[in-house]
Structure 1
Amino acid sequence: MESKSEAARPDLYLIASEDTVYEQDVLRDPHSIKPWLSYIEFKQQEGTMFEQAFVMERACKQLPRSYKLWKMYLEFRIKHLRGRNPSIHRAEYLKVNALFERAVILLNKMPRIWEMYLSFLLQQPMVTQTRRTFDRALRALPITQHNRIWKLYKAFAYSASGDTAVKIWTRYMQVHPENAEDFIEILVQMGHYTEAVNRYMEILDNPRFQSKNGKGDFQIWSDMVDLIVSKARDVEAGAQTAIDVDKIIRSGIEKFADQRGKLWAGLATYWITRGNFEKARDVFEEGITTVMTVRDFTMIFDSYVEFEESIIGNLMEAASERLEKGKIDENADFDLDLRMLRFEQLMDRRPFLVNDVLLRQNPNNVIEWSKRVALWGDNKQEIVQTYTNAIAAINPKKAHGKFHELWVNYAKFYEQGGDLDTARVIFDKAVKVPFKTVSELADTWCEWAEMELRNENFDRAVEIMAKATQSPKRSTVDYFDETLSPQQRIHKSWKLWSFYVDLVESVSTLEETRKVYERIFELRIATPQTIVNYANLLEEHKYFEESFKIYERGLDLFSYPVAFELWNLYLTKAVDRKIGIERLRDLFEQAVDGCPPKFAKVLYLMYGDLEEERGLARHAMRIYERATRAVSDEDRFEMFNFYITKSASNFGLTSTRPIYERAIAALPDNEAKEMCLKFAEMERRLGEIDRARAIYGHASQFCDPRVNAGFWQKWEAFEVQHGNEDTFKEMLRIKRSVQAKFNTDVNFIASQAIARSKQLAEEGVHEGEEDEKERVDAMAALERQARAPLGFVPASTGPEGGNRPKPVDGDQPTQASAVAANPDAIDLDEDMD
């Protein structure tokens, strides 16, 4: 290719005769780009490379600020060198570089020219010139165009590597600080670990920094710690100013409370990487004794164990090598034994360390303090110290668990050791503790008394309970008043008084026991169980009247439903004692007076049974009659049955008629139907057929033939056995009228439709299956009609009359035809007449 001077000279050998037209166009309009473009296009098709370069060179000189001509010329020259080694063809590359220099002087605001020049320089081994050209481009172009240059500049920095890359990225970071993570990645790849750590600290100290990769503060912090730990020696060696790694990681431990385990383990690993094993061991110890969660503790402890195992493993390998060589090193063997002992001690400490973690989480956790006591086994000194620490640390109002059990177990520890005096001192302190609930304080007093009982100090146990239950003569304290301390409310604790009264009953006299019971009544804390126990106590000592008075006092205190149980016991015992009948009647009258219906049944049955045994049957019947009005709806049918049975057994079947009548009037339809059937059956047995038929007729109004088919079957059987043709027809007429009534009752139809849909859903009957079922029902109806009772003569007319052949004059209907006829047809014929 020609030099610049040769290309600029219009040598005749580069201008052919065919170029004359284009030369004239260029001379005619020298300041227009169009003739030059036409000329260049022609040369691209017909001319050689030298001719093309010659024309482009002349065009660029003629129009030096034409971006289009320069771009075309530069691309042409770059294409000519594509694929050629820049070292072998260095001279040619320098010519193109010079051409680019001419272009950027004239077109220094054109970013595309700079990009082409820089991309071309990146192909050549000229680091300094390339870097300076990048700087010139950044200075020449406006800042809005810098991103196009930085894209190439960063690629150049990555290829140049070393300090050059760091300086380029440092400059880039001044403009684009949001790309700090990319810079850190480059620094790590190039081995500039100290600079990477410093950059990490800069972005962590910048509250406005937002990771373009979506990383949070902890993730960035974690990446920095991982780098520090893995490259600990390089970071320390490359730091011009000391980097306090220990302080950095500890600040992270304070900031990220939920990641303390990982950060403690990282700090220890840093010192291990540095080779400072004792410092690492101190960090591990500090970590497992300060973390607040079991997860963090497990993470640190596992790292600690792994660290100790690796050291012991290395020492054992060294000892094995010495043994093979026949060398003996007592110091090394002693060091190995010491480390083995330390490792065993660490593993033995693990349950205590876990317990420490849980207690640091909640020092008021009574359960964990109890576990800690159990961990010490037979170490009495540590057990006592643990109890002391627990009592000092736990806030009674915030205790998690039963705090009183800790005090009790503390006292039992001394009791088992035979030191009752110390145990009593502990209990004396325990009963003064402001527990969360009165129940805990009551349990403490009871445990104290039980300790004395176990050691056969019965009088002392009674004294303790007497002291626990001390109270003013008239106490106005509310047991549930949380504003008062448990000590102020303890005298109204039923649990405490129950234990006290049982204790006094077992070791003292009846009079003392009665005094305790009376005191319970005075404090108004008696329960139904108190009433029963007190009454049973007096009954055991043959004070029957006194026990009855206790029941009466209890009935004054409690209303239903508690009063029902007391009445039940009281009346049972009174009847068994066979006291006067008048007095018993008075008691029963009191019991049933105001008794809720659901409890009345039992009391009335007891009352009636009493009258039957000791009174008059007439009185018993009156009581049963009252019971049928007093009991609940669920019990009324059963009560009427019982009343009827008793009346029949005492006064005969005829006496039950008014009872049946009242029952039928009082009971709901479904139960009234059942009562009517029983009433009719009784009248049938008495031979009162008309009365029974009338009862069936009355009950029919409750019984839809589609639902209560059983009732109509019984009536039909009754008429077949005891009726005649007229009564049977009357039954059929009633049946049809009842069915018509239910068919026109809107509410009934709706309820039956709902009931039928539910039944079909339960049986899984589909629409087609339902039709089949109706057909089967129709066939069964025809069969029932065919089985009509003998002796009935069907009418010859009616719905079926026209379809049946008429008998010849003088002929009589056969028995078979009479049987096959529909009994309903008789009734229809009668209606037509």
Structure 2
Amino acid sequence: MPSAAAGPVAVAPSGKAAAPAALPFTGISPDLYPTEDDLPYEEEILREPFKLKGWWRYLVARAAAPFAKRAVIYERALKALPGSYKLWYAYLRERLDHARPHPISHQAYSSLNNTFERALATMHKMPRVWVLYLTSLLDQRLLTRGRRSFDRALRALPVTQHDRIWPLYLRLASLQACPVETSLRVFRRYLQFDPSHAEDFIEFLVSSKRWQEAADRLASVLNDDGFRSVKGKTRHQLWLELCEILTKHADEVAGLKVDAILRGGIRKFTDEVGKLWTSLADYYVRRTLYEKARDVFEEGVASVMTVQEFSVVFEAYTQFEQSMLAAKLEAAEEDGGEGSDEDEEGGRKNGMEKLSKKFLAGCWLNDEDDTDLRLARFEKLLDRRPELLSSVLLRQNPHNVEEWHRRVKLFEKEPARQVATYVEAVKTVDPMKAVGKPHTLWVAFAKMYEKHNRLDSAEDIFKKATQVNYKAVDHLATIWCEWAEMELRNKQFDKAIELMRLATAEPSVEVKRRAAAEGDEPVQLRLHKSLKLWSFYVDLEESLGSLETTRAVYERILDLRIATPQIILNYAYLLEENKYFEDAFKVFERGVKIFKYPHVKDIWVTYLTKFVKRYQRSKLERARELFTEAVQKAPPDEKKALYLQYAKLEEDYGLAKRAMNVYDEAVRAVPSGQKMSMYEIYIARAAELFGVPRTRQIYEQAIESGLPDRDVLTMCMKFAELERNLGEIDRSRAIYIHASNYADPNSHPEFWKKWNDFEIQHGNEDTFREMLRIKRTVAASRSQTHFILPEYLMQRDQRLTMDEAVDTLTRAGVPQDEMAALERQLTSGPSQAPAAAPSTSTTPANRMMNFVSAGAEVRAESSTEQAAAAAAAANNEDIELPDEESDEEEDVQIAERSVPAAVFGELGKRAAENREESSSSAQENEQQLGALERIKRRRQ
């Protein structure tokens, strides 16, 4: 192509450049000639042909031109500026985009590759140009040219820029069309550049089934302590990959010590031990070393530490044995099929020969047909599973006592193995580290010999067991007790007592001094203070010994200060059974001095009960002193039972007045939670002994004693009911008024209902109104918000309240006629008959029907009488005198009512009994009966 600075360009009249006279574009299509629009840019590049700015403007202006025309401009520019990276890169990108739509066999790719080669003549230090070129070669699948270009790029570029080339080079090496040897060489060179990407090479080797080199590379990676996986794999995962390669491709891997590698992994990676053991066994299986594989399986199940790993190894072991058995059976079937084609005589002859060989060998194991042996081995393996699993658990914790017991049960039909297991257990288990009770192993061991009538061996075992230093004294005491019980089961009573005497003997001072000097005190030195041992000893003495020996054992227990409340009670019962009552009470005295609450409670209760039952009235003062001491030492929660027992003593054998004093003291001493129940008992006993009136002061004391509000309210209701039954209506009403301070209408509606019923039955209009007023006051005082109502609203509220009262009486079942008649009778006065009563129509409107007025009576008086009454009411200083009784008034018959018997209490009962005994006349009895009948008629 001619130079761009060859001279001016002649432009044709049609707008195109003139003939090649001025600018000979030989071989170029006339469409690519410069036009009039190109003249400014052509002139600029003619003036300054070696400036990039002019050429770049030209290219930008012709961005929409065809690629051929732009290629001519690029070629002219690059001829003038061959070292311009910007022009070369832009030109190569456009050529690459122009060639991509075409197939790789198109001529455009050849031109593209030639252009890249021309560019690299000057741009060989530019990595982006190399990347474009190499990527294009990869797309064209030009392996040889690409490999050479990659090598040229690596040689041309500095090593700091090789990281841009190697990923593309590895892509080339990973192509399926690339020869394996070429790929291996590429990856090896790459590892020299960056050794940290060894995993990529290993993956390529695995995909290429180059197992030997893959195993070597993995082994070298694992041996390199400084290796760090760029893919985030742990050394454990790399170990598993190596194991998988070694085991699955054992025949193709040589030069590595597979057994040592896998065993090293087993020691190092304990969380995948089961999988590594199975991999090692699989390695030997693939190499047809079946016996070696079996040995590996046995070693695996005998060394794993967890149940999960055991399950993995055992399952692989069973599959191995099963596959070996199945292979042998299949081989036998094939041999049998081939032999069936022979004649019968030949088959019989061969069978006799095989049988004779077996007898000549003298052992079935030398037989080539070992199907029975393999089957027996497989069944034995399945039967051994519980034993092997037990071994795994014991390897986890060899001091697990319960697991040793379970292991012994596995050999119930094999006494010899049970003995061996017990021997191993007592040797292995450390009492200081044992989980469970290690002494139970010795006891079970001895009982096994006893079960087989080997008492001498059982005694030897117990004797050895007593020499073991256990963690707790109770363990050693159990050994001695079990030994003695074995002697009792075999009728050796004297020997059992002798064993207990030997076990409870106190060690000598020299032995104690020697143990103190050594600084390690064994449990044998503390055995003589074991309560369990002494309890068993005293039971033996009570059953087999005499009273003197039994008392000596009890006294020894008390001297050692190891007695319990139950020991005290048992000792006292023993003395009581043998008629040593005072000695029994002395034991009780010692017990109450030794123990404190709450342990001494049973001793006190039993002591007091026995003492009262024994002496009754004869030693009353001593009993009172005991009760006084008992209640003084008892905590408040435990005083109630003692006070009740004390009061019962006074009621039965003492004075009723002293019993009341005991109850009075009890209600003050018991805690607040028990005061209510104690007051109820106090009131019931006072009413029975001294009559109901005696309970009034008790009720008042209870109400003022500081009981909880709910209990005070309950006590007031009972007190009011008592006064009502005694006819004291005003006293009962006063109690209700006092109790209203503790009764919120919202929380205690039962109280207000009861008071309401009381007023309906015994009250009048004013008392009922007062009750309602108190109820409103209490409700307002207990509410959160208080309102001051106007006077007219309060009056309206009173009218509504009276209406509510009338409705209440109506719902209570009181007929309106009876209420009106009763009101007329009381209004007209006692001297007038009910028929002469004024009509109810004269009653004022605000008068409440059916209520008896407690104040001034409402009558239909004249205006004069009303004025006089008003004047009398206005004069507050007048003294009201009672009206004189009229002689003309009719006699008023007063109804009599008998006094309830409960008023007099027990004294009244005794007086009644005396009167009944003194009355001998039948006439007097008839008169009393007649009087009773008359009283009943009056009540009706």
> TM-score, normalised on structure 2?
0.73
Partner of 1:421: 456
Shift of 1:427: 0.6
Change (3 A) 1:36 1:423: same
Query: 2:304 is matched by which residue type in structure 1?
Result: V
Secondary structure class of the residue paired with 2:600 = helix
The alignment status of 1:249 with 2:265, answered yes or no, reads no
Change (3 A) 1:46 1:215: closer
C-alpha distance in structure 2 between counterparts of 1:449 and 1:681, whole Å = 69
Contact conserved, 2:760 with 2:768, CA < 8 A, in 1? no
Query: 2:203 is matched by which residue type in structure 1?
Result: E
The alignment status of 1:109 with 2:109, answered yes or no, reads no
The worse-fitting range, judged by mean Cα deviation, of 322-331 and 520-529 is: 322-331
C-alpha distance in structure 2 between counterparts of 1:685 and 1:81, whole Å = 123
The number of equivalent residue pairs is 771
Partner of 1:434: 469
Query: 1:682 is matched by which residue type in structure 2?
Result: L
C-alpha distance in structure 1 between counterparts of 2:537 and 2:448, whole Å = 25
Contact conserved, 2:823 with 2:851, CA < 8 A, in 1? no
CA offsets 1:172-231 (integer angstroms, 9 cap, x no match): 223333332222211111222222222222332334433333222212222222222222
The worse-fitting range, judged by mean Cα deviation, of 293-302 and 108-117 is: 108-117
The alignment status of 1:270 with 2:280, answered yes or no, reads no
Query: 1:467 is matched by which residue type in structure 2?
Result: L
CA offsets 1:702-751 (integer angstroms, 9 cap, x no match): 4455554544554555555555x5xx52564476357536634xxx5469
Secondary structure class of the residue paired with 2:229 = coil
Partner of 2:847: 818
C-alpha distance in structure 1 between counterparts of 2:210 and 2:802, whole Å = 100
Partner of 2:611: 574
Partner of 1:553: 590
Query: 2:661 is matched by which residue type in structure 1?
Result: R
Partner of 1:491: 528
Contact conserved, 2:806 with 2:849, CA < 8 A, in 1? no
Contact conserved, 1:161 with 1:190, CA < 8 A, in 2? no
Query: 1:813 is matched by which residue type in structure 2?
Result: T
Contact conserved, 2:729 with 2:762, CA < 8 A, in 1? yes
The alignment status of 1:371 with 2:384, answered yes or no, reads no
Partner of 2:186: 168
Partner of 2:541: 504
CA offsets 1:80-110 (integer angstroms, 9 cap, x no match): 8767787897xx9777655543321222112
Identify, as 1 or 2, the structure richer in helix: 1
The answer for unaligned runs of 5 or more in structure 2 is 2-22, 341-349, 355-365, 787-799, 825-838, 859-869, 877-940
Shift of 1:287: 1.0
Match of 2:381 among 343, 346, 357: 346
Shift of 1:171: 1.7
Match of 1:146 among 126, 146, 162: 162
Shift of 1:435: 0.8
Partner of 1:783: 807
Match of 2:214 among 196, 202, 206: 196
Change (3 A) 1:118 1:607: closer
Q: What does residue range 636-655 of structure 1 map to in structure 2 within 5 Å?
A: 636-655=675-694
C-alpha distance in structure 1 between counterparts of 2:449 and 2:602, whole Å = 46
Partner of 1:541: 578
Change (3 A) 1:505 1:58: same
Shift of 1:32: 3.8
Partner of 2:223: 205
Secondary structure class of the residue paired with 2:470 = coil
Query: 1:171 is matched by which residue type in structure 2?
Result: R
Partner of 1:761: none
The alignment status of 1:67 with 2:85, answered yes or no, reads yes
Change (3 A) 1:474 1:687: farther
Shift of 1:781: 6.3
Partner of 2:789: none
C-alpha distance in structure 2 between counterparts of 1:751 and 1:721, whole Å = 34
Contact conserved, 1:786 with 1:820, CA < 8 A, in 2? no
C-alpha distance in structure 2 between counterparts of 1:272 and 1:615, whole Å = 100
Partner of 2:443: 408
Contact conserved, 1:397 with 1:436, CA < 8 A, in 2? yes
The answer for unaligned runs of 5 or more in structure 1 is 2-8, 237-241, 753-775, 794-809
The worse-fitting range, judged by mean Cα deviation, of 254-263 and 570-579 is: 570-579
Change (3 A) 1:708 1:263: closer
Q: What does residue range 620-699 of structure 1 map to in structure 2 within 5 Å?
A: 620-668=659-707, 669-699=709-739
Q: What does residue range 673-822 of structure 1 map to in structure 2 within 5 Å?
A: 673-704=713-744, 707-715=747-755, 717-718=757-758, 721-722=761-762, 729=766, 732-733=769-770, 736=773, 739-740=776-777, 743-744=780-781, 748-749=782-783, 783-784=807-808, 813-814=842-843, 818-819=847-848
Match of 1:469 among 504, 507, 510: 504
CA RMSD of aligned residues (A): 4.1
Match of 1:135 among 133, 138, 151: 151
CA offsets 1:802-830 (integer angstroms, 9 cap, x no match): xxxxxxxx995348863459999999x99
Query: 1:670 is matched by which residue type in structure 2?
Result: R
C-alpha distance in structure 2 between counterparts of 1:680 and 1:298, whole Å = 81
C-alpha distance in structure 2 between counterparts of 1:153 and 1:431, whole Å = 81
Contact conserved, 2:740 with 2:778, CA < 8 A, in 1? no
C-alpha distance in structure 2 between counterparts of 1:778 and 1:143, whole Å = 113
Contact conserved, 1:471 with 1:491, CA < 8 A, in 2? yes
Contact conserved, 1:261 with 1:291, CA < 8 A, in 2? yes
Query: 1:503 is matched by which residue type in structure 2?
Result: L
The alignment status of 1:385 with 2:381, answered yes or no, reads no
Match of 1:178 among 196, 203, 221: 196
CA offsets 1:264-321 (integer angstroms, 9 cap, x no match): 1111112222222222222111111111111111101111111111111111111111
Change (3 A) 1:665 1:709: same
Change (3 A) 1:13 1:664: closer
Shift of 1:448: 0.4
Larger radius of gyration: 2
Match of 1:118 among 134, 143, 166: 134
Contact conserved, 1:592 with 1:600, CA < 8 A, in 2? yes
Q: What does residue range 322-361 of structure 1 map to in structure 2 within 5 Å?
A: 322-326=335-339, 334-361=369-396
Q: Which has the higher contact order (CA 8 A, sep 6+)?
A: 2
The worse-fitting range, judged by mean Cα deviation, of 66-75 and 362-371 is: 66-75
Identity %: 45
Contact conserved, 1:411 with 1:427, CA < 8 A, in 2? yes
Shift of 1:474: 11
C-alpha distance in structure 1 between counterparts of 2:127 and 2:739, whole Å = 110
Secondary structure class of the residue paired with 1:343 = helix
Shift of 1:234: 2.3
Match of 2:333 among 297, 313, 320: 320
Change (3 A) 1:548 1:66: same
Shift of 1:347: 1.8
